[in-house]
Chain A
Amino acid sequence: MSGPRATPRSSASLAQRAIGDGLVIAVLGGWWLLSQEIPGFLLPDPVEVGKSLVAFFITPSLLADTVTSAARVVAAVVLSVILGGALAILPYRWPVFDAIVHERIKPFLNSFPSTGWAILAMVWFGTSSASVVLVEVMILTPFCLINIAEGLRELDVELVEMGGSFTRSRRRVFFKIIMPLLLPYTVSSVRIAYGVAWKIALVAELFGATSGLGYVMLKAQIVSDATTVLGTCFAIVALFLAGEKLVINPLSRLVAYK
């Protein structure tokens, strides 16, 4: 999406900063005031929620849940990038698979609801990390497939042809030319998959796990502990932002090609 823009996205004026940060402060302030008036199970005190958020990264037992969820998310992202990439490359190499991948597997995975996978995984595999990762992989794979297939479609044909004139080894062309050209698309599918993964991690863990943030949240919900429910939600926002800023953004700067 290129084209003339009124203002570049990055530069923010003083007024913008003031209103943007003012909004955050106003919302937090309003929340605090409101929470003083109404009971805690309806709207917990933001300070308590903040403590609960911090606890997810400090208290050993909760930190274990945080780490478990994060490990599942990372495993699921890696597996679905591999699986989605393989599914995208299959019809590129053998066109006969085109309809199988793009008209059967893709729409099927794309419209299959995550709650459906979560319940089926629980019935089939019980509550385990494998169940959770399975649910996440099933949901993330179509995102990776779509992105990497897009990369293959945008592939510079002349570059690949040139590669073909230097070597007749398809493997060499694949690893030396196609793979590097696909890298930006792979990273963007990691980015998308990572964002989606954190959202469905909760759904997956609500049913299929006895550990992880989703499980903590479910336990809190049962005893109407709104503080922990909100704390979990914010912990996920924090983890998501940290992963994006510390891992995915540097990664995409690394592979961005001019």
Chain B
Amino acid sequence: MSNGTAPALAAPKETGSIGRRSRLAAHLFTLGALVLWQLYSMTVEPYVLPGPVPVALRLVDFVTDWSLAKHAFISFAHVFSAIAISFVVGSGLALLAHYVSALRLAIHGRISPFLNSFSGIGWTLLAIVWFGVNDVTVVFAITVVLTPFAIINMREGLETLDWELLEMSASFTRNRWREFVLVVVPSLVPFIFATIRISFGVAWKVALAAELFGGRSGLGYLFNLARQDFDVALILVVIVVIIAFVYSADRLVFAPIQARLGRHHDLGAA
């Protein structure tokens, strides 16, 4: 804590120690939160809030028991398919609006705001009526919620295209397709990536709600079972699994790729 011993090194040392102190404080915060959880759980009935130890044990059960762990993979499959479909549909609509100006208002002024303001739960309940309680319902509900995110993000990318670059490419070829594949798509890469990253974060949350009402499998379905049994430990385990998965995917997969893309394309990584 005291770093006044070497005046010559004071400045760099101080910034370093703020980072270290901040990180230390964060670890203490985590520890404190766990201790508080433990203490509080001892004062209430276990069905209200089980302590961290029973939850950790259930987590081990969850990871080792395939009949439970498979739900995480099923949810991932739902999320993955929905991201793929919504990306194709959303980018398709954004491109259509970009290249066919007559459709611009229909897509950005009608379809996108409508999808953006219509509730995910509403889609789920409607899809249950239309498709029944199954995977189609879940993937449909997630896809419809994700599509406006894809439209909005890809639109932003298309509108920030470098016009000088396009002009230059037009002076090299008159083939629009070549221009699209060799200039437009590479310029869009950071936006494509940002779209997928945002979709991933949103998709997990929607997936849970969709599976809860409209699924026969997946983490949301597990949520529903746990809710009916007042099995708070299982609810917390599912939440921990999701937080761990979403956070580590964002930090270990998306953030590094986006930082590299940002450097390559000379954009802020944020």
Contact = CB atoms under 8 A, between A and B. Distances in A.
Contacts of A157: none
B48 A198 contact: no
B39 interface: no
A16 B120 contact: no
Given A5-B159, A113-B204, A19 B121 contact: no
A202 B119 contact: yes
B26 A199 contact: no
Interface string B83-107: 0000000000000001001111110
Contacts of A202: 119, 121-122
Interface stretch (A74-82, A181-189, A225-233): A225-233
B177 interface: no
A67 interface: no
A241 B110 CA distance: 13
A202 to B, nearest CB: 4
A100 interface: yes
A16 B104 contact: yes
A103 B251 CA distance: 11
B172 interface: no
Contacts of A96: 18, 21-22, 25
Interface string B140-160: 000000000000000010011
12 contacts: A5-B159, A6-B159, A42-B130, A95-B18, A111-B201, A112-B243, A198-B119, A202-B122, A203-B121, A217-B122, A233-B119, A237-B118
B129 interface: yes
A100 B22 contact: yes
A99 B22 contact: yes
Contacts of B230: 123
B71 to A, nearest CB: 14
A124 interface: yes
A16 B106 contact: yes
Contacts of B23: 99, 103
A131 B185 CA distance: 46
A123 B48 contact: yes
Interface in A8-47: 9, 12-13, 15-17, 19-20, 22-24, 41-42
A239 to B, nearest CB: 9
Interface string A186-213: 0000000001001100110011000000
User: Which 6 pairs show the lowest CB-CB distances between chains A and B?
Assistant: A99-B26, A20-B105, A233-B122, A16-B105, A111-B246, A99-B22
Interface stretch (A52-60, A114-122, A164-172, A247-255): A114-122
In this complex, the interface size class of chain B, counting residues with CB under 8 Å from chain A, is: 35 or more
A115 B130 CA distance: 23
B175 interface: no
Contacts of B43: none
Contacts of B37: none
B30 interface: yes
A201 B229 CA distance: 24
B79 interface: no
Contacts of A19: 102-103, 105-106
A201 B185 CA distance: 38
A16 B97 CA distance: 10
Given A95-B22, A115-B209, A236-B119, 14 more contacts: A1-B156, A16-B101, A16-B106, A20-B109, A23-B111, A42-B130, A100-B29, A103-B23, A115-B223, A116-B242, A120-B232, A123-B48, A221-B125, A233-B118
Given A12-B105, A115-B223, A3 B122 contact: no
B213 to A, nearest CB: 8
Contacts of B48: 123-124
